């Protein structure tokens, strides 16, 4: 694969012998893992859609090929950093009516962390990625290379624009500029627009239109 190729990839990810993520429905059933609507993921090679070690493996693969790889932390989610473990007074949570328990996930500001312990009125929260410091094992299969520009644009929009609905018609990618959820509305951030437009322009002949 070369930079700019968009491929659909199946994988099974493991660490310490345990599966932490996968896209293969038959394998999920076999392992007794409750997963719905599993399907290959789109990867635009060179754009960081997956971790570095995974992407490097794809660059040496062809459609239909399968590989088993091992990815060290440096090319996965990095080392565990002690600076990413912070301590808070338990009263800060109690004042907001929140009870915290070891093992649960919570969001503080724009960071997501896991509660490590609650002792003596102090709450320790680990903001490291759950897979930081771990060597990962992947079984990878390149299922398909997407050649059609409109289909390619659809996958890029799915990845970059997330929950902002989009559709491709007659060479134009139409993306909703304002997303509505219940009584709430929020516009697409300028940074997201810029990234979407850059990738569409660089890798397809499709135009972008906001609706």
Class of the domain covering 148-211 = alpha beta
CATH number 3.40.50.1820 is the correct assignment for the domain at 82-126: no
d(C-alpha 2, C-alpha 119), whole Å: 52
Q: Are 42 and 23 in contact (CB under 8 A)?
A: no
User: What pLDDT was estimated at residue 184?
Assistant: 84
CATH number 3.90.76.10 is the correct assignment for the domain at 1-79+131-146: no
Q: How many other C-beta atoms are found inside a 10 Å radius of the C-beta of residue 14?
A: 16
**Domain residue extents for the chain:** 1-79+131-146, 82-126, 148-211
User: What pLDDT was estimated at residue 148?
Assistant: 97
Backbone angles phi, psi at 70, to 5 degrees: -125, 130
Q: Give SS3 for 71.
A: strand
Q: Provide the pairing of β-strand 85-89 with 122-126.
A: antiparallel
Q: Are 79 and 131 in contact (CB under 8 A)?
A: no
Mean pLDDT by 10 residues, the chain (211 residues): 96 95 93 89 96 96 97 96 94 89 90 94 95 97 97 96 93 93 86 96 96 92
């Amino acid at each position: 694969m070369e930079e700019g190729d968009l491929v659909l990839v199946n994988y099974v990810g493991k660490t310490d012998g345990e599966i932490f993520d996968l896209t293969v429905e038959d394998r999920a059933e076999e392992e007794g893992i409750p997963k719905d609507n599993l399907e290959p993921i789109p990867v635009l090679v060179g754009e960081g859609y997956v971790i570095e070690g995974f992407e490097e493996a794809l660059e040496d693969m062809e459609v239909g090929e399968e590989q088993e790889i091992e990815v060290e932390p440096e090319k996965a989610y990095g080392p565990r950093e002690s600076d990413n473990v912070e301590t808070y007074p338990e009263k800060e949570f109690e004042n907001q009516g929140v009870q915290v328990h070891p093992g649960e996930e919570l969001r503080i500001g724009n960071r997501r962390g896991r509660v490590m312990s609650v002792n003596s009125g102090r709450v320790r929260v680990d903001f490291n990625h759950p897979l930081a410091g771990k060597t990962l094992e992947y079984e990878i299969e390149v299922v398909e290379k997407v050649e059609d520009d409109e289909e390619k644009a659809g996958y890029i929009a799915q990845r970059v624009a997330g929950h902002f609905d989009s559709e491709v018609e007659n060479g134009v990618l139409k993306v909703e500029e304002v997303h509505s959820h219940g009584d709430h509305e929020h516009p697409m951030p300028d940074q997201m627009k810029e990234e979407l437009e850059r990738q569409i322009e660089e890798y397809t002949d499709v135009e972008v239109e906001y609706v």
